[in-house]
């Protein structure tokens, strides 16, 4: 059984931390009842969205983002040209009233009695259960707009400490209750969907109230954090103390530290700070048969297979992360953005390859193909005055006339440098020199800033598309350098061919970008969208196209996933990706750590002997 003999003792070197409790224990910006701030059927904040103005242009509402309050006069025209969409033809979401959310299916009386005695905060209210019964795949968002899931959690429980998680896991194991860990709810693999045929009570174990900084060790530059802390809270609190983690996934505003660990997450600035596996020093993991953790937080050990790598990527199937020790860094003195323009995508890829080889890549470097550049250009706010318009015209003239770059072929990279002023200046000069060797020219700091900040609003565009009969999604892979160009070309072509063969008559958006670089390869993101007006089952069509694209990725030497994970939607390729003996080993670990299948989320693979409920979720539309 799990052991709750846990200590939050600070290590040597952290004697100053008691004066910082107000920062350590500050409430999250995301409320306990998420529906008070976030959309119930879309991405992000309720006050932030793309909206059509009376002048038939698009604006971004709210005040939270750099783009907020801006009008984008070119975006409507781009939607019409790239997707055949029309702002005169809307597909509004249906409103699901709280009373229409299905009631709990199973209620375990012994479990309910025990959590009341333990004083664990809990709710069976429809909105609380709905928010924790899904992630953010296209299918899940479409279901929220058009129907309802066949099964939701029967209860939400909010533990507030490692000790309470241990009590909850022990209780679920005794009472025959299923637990599905919930962090920020940003999964894009179907990981949070409840198996529809599960006969037991399903409880969402929401870690959001476990959001404290437990201690900082400023001598060794490490910190101990509860796993439910949200990325933006973690970085904001550390910044007040002069530190950062530097892990910035696109979902930074809403995803949790525990989720990063459970999915082997990657961030935009990994070139300087590393991926989550590089940042992690120690982790505490609660399973039905005990608590897993190393006996020390040394920087490296050689004691057999690394149990941390058993926990990272487990996706809620083995247990739940409660506390994590991470490396911290002093805040960078300088942060500078930049951008590079290349004659074509291939030239940009060759430049990124050399940056990786010479180990001089900025904190973030991301290369967009031409289609994505055109899309990003359509998101550009209206020029604020004649001087801005004049300067933009001069830049366009130089790029297209003087340098001879073709507007329908050029590619753009956005850059972020972090470090001391001297380090940043030296690195920027070297990067620009390498880019010049590949025909690249500087696109300016402001374009780099815009490109980086657009990352945090891109997800809102899917909701806009759905309002006008357009479905869109992104997926990622990692691939060796010598296969990057072939893979990008072949997958984009495959997407378009599959859409046309399934009756899509309007233009199809199929685009990609390189987002992270390594010595041996790169991460590639694909985006695709199409107009589904007149098509009977757009979600099923989308799934068929994405599955074909995933087959194409694997055939071209790409991975099943770089950082999104497997979840439920990629189960069919899991064995092919890691081998049958490896799957058997993971199944054996699952059987040993969770013999009663308490963590029956159905991710990675179905339990041996078949699940109580099918892991493939089919929504009732």
**Residues near 364 by Cβ (< 8 Å), separated by ≥ 6?**
248, 268, 269, 271, 414, 415, 416, 452
pLDDT in tens, 218-258: 999 999 999 999 999 999 999 999 999 999 999 999 999 99
Mean pLDDT (whole number) for 393-422: 81
* 390 CB burial (10 A radius; 0-12, 13-18, 19+): exposed
- CA 452 to CA 363: how far, in whole Å? 12
**Which pTM value belongs to this model?**
0.93
Per CATH, which fold does 334-455 belong to? Alpha-Beta Plaits (3.30.70)
- CA 524 to CA 513: how far, in whole Å? 6
Task: Using pLDDT thresholds of 50, 70 and 90, give the confidence band for residue 544.
Answer: very high
pLDDT at 533 over 80: yes
- HSE value, Cβ hemisphere, 13 Å, CA-based, for 437: 12
Range from 131-140, 222-231, 296-305, 321-330 carrying the lowest mean pLDDT:
296-305
- CA 347 to CA 367: how far, in whole Å? 10
- Give the residue from 153, 182, 176, 167 showing the smallest Cα distance to 120: 167
Q: Write the CA distances from 546 to 4, 249, 555, 572, 575, integer angstroms.
A: 44, 22, 14, 13, 19
**Residues near 252 by Cβ (< 8 Å), separated by ≥ 6?**
231, 232, 235, 267, 456
pLDDT in tens, 441-500: 999 999 999 999 999 999 999 999 999 999 999 999 999 999 999 999 999 999 999 999
**Ordered alpha helix ranges (H), 49-125:** 75-83, 109-118
Please state the residue numbers annotated as binding site for substrate.
462
- CA 93 to CA 141: how far, in whole Å? 10
- CA 168 to CA 162: how far, in whole Å? 10
Mean pLDDT (whole number) for 428-446: 96
Q: Write the CA distances from 378 to 79, 81, 411, integer angstroms.
A: 9, 11, 15
Range from 225-229, 371-375, 397-401 carrying the lowest mean pLDDT:
397-401
CB 526 within 8 A of CB 473: no
pLDDT at 11 over 90: no
CB 289 within 8 A of CB 1: yes
3-state secondary structure of 366: strand
**Residues near 475 by Cβ (< 8 Å), separated by ≥ 6?**
188, 525, 526, 546, 549, 550, 564
3-state DSSP helix/strand/coil percent for the chain, to nearest 5?
Answer: 35, 20, 45
Question: For position 297, what pLDDT does the model report?
Answer: 87
- CA 275 to CA 269: how far, in whole Å? 9
Where do the structural domains in the chain lie, given as residue ranges? 222-330, 334-455, 459-569
Q: Among this protein's residues, is 532 annotated catalytic?
A: no
- CA 508 to CA 531: how far, in whole Å? 8
- CA 529 to CA 371: how far, in whole Å? 12
Question: For position 400, what pLDDT does the model report?
Answer: 67
pLDDT in tens, 60-111: 999 999 999 999 999 999 999 999 999 899 988 876 676 679 899 999 999 9
Sign of CA dihedral 419, 420, 426, 429: positive
3-state secondary structure of 146: helix
- CA 497 to CA 493: how far, in whole Å? 6
- CA 364 to CA 269: how far, in whole Å? 5
The total of other beta-carbon atoms located within 10 Å of residue 364's CB is 26
The total of other beta-carbon atoms located within 10 Å of residue 74's CB is 16
Q: Tokens at residue 4, please? A: 């709750």
Range from 146-155, 396-405, 560-569 carrying the lowest mean pLDDT:
396-405
Q: What are phi and psi of 516, to 5 degrees?
A: -140, 145
CB 414 within 8 A of CB 337: yes
For residue 530, the cross-strand partners are 471
Range from 3-7, 339-343, 386-390 carrying the lowest mean pLDDT:
386-390
pLDDT at 10 over 70: no
The active-site residue, picked from 65, 243, 468, 525, is 525
- Give the residue from 480, 493, 490 showing the smallest Cα distance to 562: 480
* 329 CB burial (10 A radius; 0-12, 13-18, 19+): middle
Which DSSP letter does residue 105 get?
S
CB 201 within 8 A of CB 155: yes
Strands 155-158 and 202-206: parallel
Please state the residue numbers annotated as binding site for FAD.
181-187, 263-266, 315-321
Question: For position 613, what pLDDT does the model report?
Answer: 39
pLDDT in tens, 260-272: 999 999 999 999 9
Task: Using pLDDT thresholds of 50, 70 and 90, give the confidence band for residue 385.
Answer: very low
pLDDT at 620 over 60: no
The total of other beta-carbon atoms located within 10 Å of residue 55's CB is 10
Range from 49-58, 96-105, 204-213, 601-610 carrying the lowest mean pLDDT:
601-610
Q: What is the 3-state secondary structure (H, E, C) of 273-301?
A: HCCHHHHEEEEEEEECCEEECCCCCCCCC
Mean pLDDT (whole number) for 358-364: 97
Question: For position 404, what pLDDT does the model report?
Answer: 80
Task: Using pLDDT thresholds of 50, 70 and 90, give the confidence band for residue 617.
Answer: very low
Which DSSP letter does residue 485 get?
H
Question: For position 25, what pLDDT does the model report?
Answer: 83
CATH C-level class of 459-569: alpha beta
Sign of CA dihedral 498, 478, 574, 590: negative
pLDDT in tens, 143-164: 998 888 999 999 999 999 999 9
Regarding predicted confidence, which is higher, 176 or 608? Answer: 176
Give the sheet arrangement for strand 320-327, strand by strand: 213-217, 222-226, 320-327, 280-287, 290-292
- CA 363 to CA 372: how far, in whole Å? 21
Share of the chain above pLDDT 70, in %: 91
Q: What are phi and psi of 66, to 5 degrees?
A: -60, -30
Instruction: Write down the architecture of domain 222-330 according to CATH.
Output: 2-Layer Sandwich (3.30)
- CA 227 to CA 243: how far, in whole Å? 18
Mean pLDDT (whole number) for 103-125: 97
Question: For position 395, what pLDDT does the model report?
Answer: 59
CB 74 within 8 A of CB 377: yes
Q: How does the average pLDDT of the chain come out, rounded? A: 91
């Amino acid at each position: 059984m799990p052991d709750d003999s846990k200590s939050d003792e600070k290590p040597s070197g952290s004697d100053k931390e008691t004066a910082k409790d107000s920062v350590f224990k500050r409430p999250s910006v995301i409320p306990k009842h998420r529906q008070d701030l976030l959309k119930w059927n879309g991405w992000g904040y309720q006050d932030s969205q793309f909206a059509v103005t009376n002048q038939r242009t698009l604006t971004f509402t709210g005040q939270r983002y750099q783009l907020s309050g801006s009008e984008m006069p070119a975006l409507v025209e781009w939607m019409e040209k790239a997707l055949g969409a029309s702002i005169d033809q809307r597909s509004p979401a249906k409103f699901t009233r709280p009373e229409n959310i299905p009631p709990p299916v199973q209620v375990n009386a012994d479990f309910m009695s025990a959590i009341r005695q333990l004083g664990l905060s809990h709710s069976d209210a429809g909105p609380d259960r709905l928010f924790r019964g899904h992630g953010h795949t296209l299918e899940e968002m479409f279901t929220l707009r058009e129907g309802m899931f066949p099964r939701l959690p029967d209860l939400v429980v909010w533990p507030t400490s490692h000790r309470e998680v241990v009590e909850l896991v022990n209780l679920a194991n005794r009472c025959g209750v299923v637990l599905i860990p919930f962090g920020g709810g940003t999964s894009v693999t179907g990981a949070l969907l409840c198996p529809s045929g599960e006969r037991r009570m399903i409880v969402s174990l929401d870690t959001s109230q476990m959001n404290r900084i437990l201690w900082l060790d400023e001598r060794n530059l490490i910190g101990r954090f509860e796993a439910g802390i949200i990325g933006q809270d973690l970085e904001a609190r550390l910044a007040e103390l002069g530190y950062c983690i530097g892990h910035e996934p696109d979902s930074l505003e809403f995803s949790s530290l525990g989720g990063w660990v459970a999915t082997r997450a990657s961030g935009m600035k990994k070139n300087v700070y590393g991926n989550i596996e590089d940042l992690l020093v120690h982790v505490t993991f609660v399973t039905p048969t005990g608590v897993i953790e190393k006996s020390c937080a040394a920087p490296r050990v050689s004691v057999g297979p690394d149990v941390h790598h058993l926990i990272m990527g487990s996706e809620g199937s083995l247990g739940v992360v409660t506390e994590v020790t991470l490396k911290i860094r002093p805040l960078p003195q300088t942060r500078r953005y930049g951008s590079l323009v290349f004659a074509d995508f291939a030239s940009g890829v060759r430049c990124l390859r050399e940056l990786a080889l010479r180990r001089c890549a900025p904190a973030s470097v991301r290369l967009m193909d031409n289609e994505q550049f055109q899309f990003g250009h359509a998101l550009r706010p209206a020029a604020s005055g004649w001087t801005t318009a004049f300067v933009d015209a001069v830049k366009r003239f130089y790029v297209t006339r003087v340098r001879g770059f073709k507007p329908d072929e050029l590619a753009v990279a956005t850059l972020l440098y972090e470090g001391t002023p001297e380090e940043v200046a030296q690195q920027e000069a070297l990067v620009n020199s390498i880019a010049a060797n590949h025909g690249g020219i500087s696109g300016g700091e402001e374009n780099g800033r815009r490109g980086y900040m657009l990352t945090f609003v891109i997800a809102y565009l899917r909701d806009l598309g759905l309002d006008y009969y357009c479905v869109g999604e992104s997926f990622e892979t990692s691939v060796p350098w010598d296969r990057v160009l072939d893979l990008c070309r072949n997958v984009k072509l495959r997407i378009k061919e599959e859409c046309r063969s399934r009756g899509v008559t309007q233009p199809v958006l199929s685009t990609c970008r390189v987002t992270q670089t390594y010595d041996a390869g790169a991460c590639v993101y694909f985006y695709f969208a199409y107009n589904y007006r007149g098509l009977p089952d757009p979600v099923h069509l989308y799934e068929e196209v994405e599955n074909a694209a995933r087959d194409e990725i694997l055939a071209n030497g790409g991975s099943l996933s770089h950082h999104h994970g497997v979840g439920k939607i990629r189960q069919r390729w899991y064995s092919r990706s890691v081998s049958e003996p490896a799957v058997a080993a993971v199944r054996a670990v699952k059987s040993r750590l969770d013999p009663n299948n308490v963590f029956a989320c159905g991710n990675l693979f179905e339990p041996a002997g078949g699940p109580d409920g099918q892991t493939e979720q089919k929504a009732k539309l």
